[in-house]
Amino acid sequence: MLKPKKEGIGIFGGSFDPPHKGHTEISKITLKKINLKKIYWIITKKNPFKNKPFFTIEERLKKSKKILKKNINIEVLYLDDLIKSSRTIKVIKYFRKVKNQKNLYLIVGSDNLINFHKWKSWKKIVKLVKLVVFSRKGYVKKSKESLVVKYLNRKNIIFLNEKLINISSSVIKKKYSKNLK
C-alpha cells in the first residue's frame, strides 16, 4: 500500500523553557502518525500565559538545536522579532503567506486545549490549521470537554492518545534551581 505524499507542516510553539525529550518524542510521533513533511519548533521569548522564562531565548534556542541535531525533519525557528509578535495566529499567517504553506497542523498538549479559547484569535486559528492534541496526564478528559472541542464538533482536531510522556519543563526547572543552591 502506498503512503500518502508528505505535504503537511507541523507547528509546535512554546517557550521550550527548557526543551526536553518529551518535546522531541511528541514531534517524532506526530511526524510518523500524521505523515508530516516537517515540524517547526517555534520558540517564543515568553508565553503570554506563563511567568518570566527561566532560561534566556538564546539558551533555549541553543539547547533546542542541540537536542534536535539528528532530527532532520524537525527545525527550530525564532520568529518573534521577524513577525513582531509571539502570537500563534501571527505565526500561522507567516507560514501561510511567506512560506506559502496551507496544510498546517498545530501541535498542542491536552492541558493547552482546556484554555485554548483564551488564545488571541482562537476561532481563526482553528479555521486555518488542524489541531493535533497530545495527551497530558490529568488533562485528557477535561480537554475533550473543552469549549474548543465543542466549537469544532470533532472536526479539524486529531487526538493522539499515545503513551503519556511523563516529563515537563517545570519539573526540570525545579531540579535545575535546586542544583544552583
Whether residue 118 has pLDDT greater than 80:
yes
Q: pTM of the entire structure?
A: 0.87
Region 131-155 average pLDDT: 89
- pLDDT for position 16: 94
- What integer is the mean pLDDT of 10-32? 93
SS3 per-residue string spanning 162-177: CCCCCCCHHHHHHHHH
**Per-residue pLDDT averaged across 123-131, rounded?**
95
Q: How large a percentage of the chain has pLDDT more than 90?
A: 65
Contact 126, 91 (CB under 8 A): no
The predicted model gives 26-53 an average pLDDT of: 90
- How many whole angstroms separate alpha carbon 160 and alpha carbon 150? 18
8 Å CB contact between 133 and 148: no
